[in-house]
Structure 1
Amino acid sequence: MLRSPGSKPSRGSLVCEANSGTPVPKNSILVVGGTGTLGRQIVRKALDEGYDVRCIVRPRQNPADFLRDWGATTVQADLTDLTSLPATLVGVSAIIDCATARPEESTQKVDWEGKVALIQCAQAMGIQRYVFFSIFNCDKHPEVPLMNIKACTEDFLASSGLNYTTLRLCGFMQAVIGNYAVPILEDRPVWGTNDETRTAYLDTQDVARMTMAALRSEECSGRTLTLAGPRAYTTKEVIELCEDMSDSKAQINTVPTWLLKGTRNVLKGAQWAKDAADRLAFAEVLANNETWDAPMDQTYELLGIEAESVNTLEDYLKEYFNKIMKRLKEVGASTDRTNFYV
């Protein structure tokens, strides 16, 4: 049974009024988390398909100018400021919610309280479709705060009466670049665990394509779908791929799973380190010899996507390293490699 991540905001705490009068165009969508790794790909894909895209952005030192340059509209709001949310939904037909708390932020405030408030606003404003991104097998790990919050949010969304689709993700190929490819190129250590966990990574561009297909499909309404890549890999296999394609040898530092658990037990006793302890709980699951994968044949058919069109990790890494090596050759092998990431 899922444990409630905390009390949710009351409806009285939000000023949400149902949309009335002028019909809302069906191609008008709000992307929450549009500056993130996945969100920016969804914004690009939606714009390419002719959607009128609005993005929530927070006041920040580095403004999200690139979203406006692409043709999206931006509106300042924050999931931790519940009163800022209602106005962002005026004139919107659908919400694509791919936001999550950053490492320095509270998952309770962003991923639970903020999302509950957003769903309540969507109910009041008569939003026609809500696409929510969750985590693979989140309902099986209530001991992990972020996964428990995702599972509780799934339940809250399903009971809201909204026309929703939940997409559970296994892992992004883009994370492989920062975690393994870049450190190997820089001759820095890569970190791994002594486990056989397998992850079926997906390219975020493919996730964006599947997301827009799900948004268009009435058959996806009221359903929870797991999106997985063509094949699942262990950390060791990913590192070996990066070594082969970069013609380099990785310096591997192995972190025993018992150390992750021990560190988490120490940190969770201190209030100031609670968020760090919660994230270590997620790391424990990722190092628990599970397989983060799911059959995709029925999902491909449902979304109208050919399996052969989905990018493989080998092809993704090959393209990345080919670009890097080409740039290195252009400037000379002695040049600092850190200038040439794509």
Structure 2
Amino acid sequence: MKILVIGATGTLGRQIVRHAIDQDYSVRCLVRNRGKAGFLKEWGAELVKGDICEFKSIESALEGVDAVIDAATARATDSLTIRQVDWEGKVNLIQACAKANIKRYIFFSLLNAEKFEDVPLMNIKHCTELFLQESGLDYTIFKIGGFMQGLIGQYGIPILDNQPVWVSGENTPIAYMNTQDMAKFVIKALEIPETVKKTYPLVGSRAWTGDEIIQLCERLSGKTAKISRIPLGLLRFLRGFTRWFKWTRNASDRLAFAEVLASGIALDAPMDEVYETLKIDPQEITTLEAYLQEYFDRIMKKIREIDYEKSKMKKRKKNSFFK
């Protein structure tokens, strides 16, 4: 089976590519910048230059492809808006797949997307779900909560660097999952016919609030976090202000996600059916405690090694001074 991965350089996309290659799939990646995607080619993936916002480039990328895994989404720094990438681009992609008679299509949405019409990314994800369901494609939709990988920059690094950890005034629990584990579910879905035209949650073993994650990081690192809380009212003001400028519109749309965090509706869902259908053992899935433990163990070991080398250098300088 030949797979086309969209968004292959992203946090989730690259793990899907890596795992698919490890499982002996033939993988093609649609990329906008070959230079930034060189590591995918080194892994064994075929790179095709193109953009989902350009219909013709999608058509050529789909030649000889059996399945499409769509892990693309607009980034805050993109020149294109969330609507252009996550709606107009996805419509292009889905229509091109239908025209090319692609066998399978896997899409990533967000948990509770249907409940937040006023949050641009959530609303667009929900609308894309509906559009995909009516497309005639043999789709599988995975609704995710959050990536464990994102917690390193948000919590781990600031705590180790003695810098402020910025959190919103609200504390909605989120069931984070390791993207390496997500990739296992995705590739398994391609192999199991029962996943066709189905929607599944894809989340970790439990939901965590920001305060609980901070406490966990403090315990694992032995350091105390400097916590700075951002009032929801300020985030709403910043969202309204940034809407006035075209170059900050993506940032504005992402600030709207604060309404999801303020809702108190946990980004979590039962996974029993998913584990059973995809024949994956829950014990093989990384817990947040284990993920952060590994991170802090690795970093603290590196810090000790650096301190040891510095101590040796100081002793050498001291001894050479008195000779």
Provide the TM-score with structure 2 as the length reference: 0.92
The answer to whether residue 264 in structure 2 is matched with residue 289 in structure 1 is yes
1:57 maps to a residue whose letter is V
1:329 maps to a residue whose letter is R
2:233 alignment partner, one of 255, 258, 261: 258
SS of 1:165's partner is strand
1:314 maps to a residue whose letter is E
Shift of 1:270: 4.8
Q: Contact 2:170–2:261 at 8 Å: present in 1 too?
A: no
Q: Contact 2:55–2:96 at 8 Å: present in 1 too?
A: no
Tell me which residue corresponds to 1:9: none
Tell me which residue corresponds to 2:4: 30
Q: 1:274 to 1:66 in 2, by over 3 A?
A: closer
More helix by share: 2
Q: Contact 1:197–1:290 at 8 Å: present in 2 too?
A: yes
Shift of 1:288: 2.6
Tell me which residue corresponds to 1:165: 140
Q: Contact 1:100–1:111 at 8 Å: present in 2 too?
A: yes
Shift of 1:333: 6.5
Q: Contact 2:140–2:198 at 8 Å: present in 1 too?
A: yes
Mean Cα displacement is larger for which, 131-140 or 258-267? 258-267
Unaligned stretches of 5+ residues in structure 1: 1-26, 336-342
Shift of 1:222: 0.3
The answer to whether residue 14 in structure 2 is matched with residue 40 in structure 1 is yes
Q: 1:314 to 1:159 in 2, by over 3 A?
A: same
Q: 1:333 to 1:185 in 2, by over 3 A?
A: farther
Q: 1:334 to 1:239 in 2, by over 3 A?
A: farther
Partner Cα separation in structure 1 for residue 27 and residue 11 of structure 2: 17
1:187-202 paired onto structure 2 within 5 Å? 187-202=162-177
Partner Cα separation in structure 1 for residue 33 and residue 269 of structure 2: 38
1:199-238 paired onto structure 2 within 5 Å? 199-238=174-213
Tell me which residue corresponds to 2:282: 307
1:28 maps to a residue whose letter is K
Shift of 1:304: 0.5
2:48 maps to a residue whose letter is V
Partner Cα separation in structure 2 for residue 119 and residue 111 of structure 1: 12
Partner Cα separation in structure 1 for residue 227 and residue 118 of structure 2: 29
Task: Count residues with an aligned counterpart.
Answer: 308
1:218 maps to a residue whose letter is P
Partner Cα separation in structure 2 for residue 28 and residue 314 of structure 1: 36
1:176 maps to a residue whose letter is L
2:75 alignment partner, one of 78, 87, 102: 102
Partner Cα separation in structure 2 for residue 177 and residue 188 of structure 1: 13
Unaligned stretches of 5+ residues in structure 2: 311-323
Partner Cα separation in structure 1 for residue 6 and residue 297 of structure 2: 33
Tell me which residue corresponds to 2:55: 82
Q: 1:169 to 1:333 in 2, by over 3 A?
A: farther
Identical positions, percent: 49
SS of 1:74's partner is strand
Partner Cα separation in structure 1 for residue 231 and residue 36 of structure 2: 40
Q: Deviations over 1:282-332 (max 9, x none)?
A: 122123322110011111101101111111000000011111111112221
Q: 1:194 to 1:72 in 2, by over 3 A?
A: same
Tell me which residue corresponds to 2:97: 122
The answer to whether residue 20 in structure 2 is matched with residue 65 in structure 1 is no
Q: Contact 1:164–1:222 at 8 Å: present in 2 too?
A: yes
RMSD: 1.5
Q: Contact 1:196–1:290 at 8 Å: present in 2 too?
A: no
Partner Cα separation in structure 1 for residue 305 and residue 209 of structure 2: 34
Partner Cα separation in structure 2 for residue 83 and residue 286 of structure 1: 38
Tell me which residue corresponds to 2:217: 242
Tell me which residue corresponds to 2:27: 53
Q: Deviations over 1:240-291 (max 9, x none)?
A: 1111111111111101112212322333355554332211111221233221
Provide the TM-score with structure 1 as the length reference: 0.87
Partner Cα separation in structure 2 for residue 306 and residue 88 of structure 1: 35
Partner Cα separation in structure 2 for residue 181 and residue 63 of structure 1: 26
The answer to whether residue 66 in structure 2 is matched with residue 93 in structure 1 is yes
Shift of 1:46: 0.4
Partner Cα separation in structure 1 for residue 297 and residue 178 of structure 2: 17
Q: Contact 1:260–1:284 at 8 Å: present in 2 too?
A: no
Q: Contact 1:135–1:170 at 8 Å: present in 2 too?
A: yes
Partner Cα separation in structure 1 for residue 171 and residue 210 of structure 2: 8
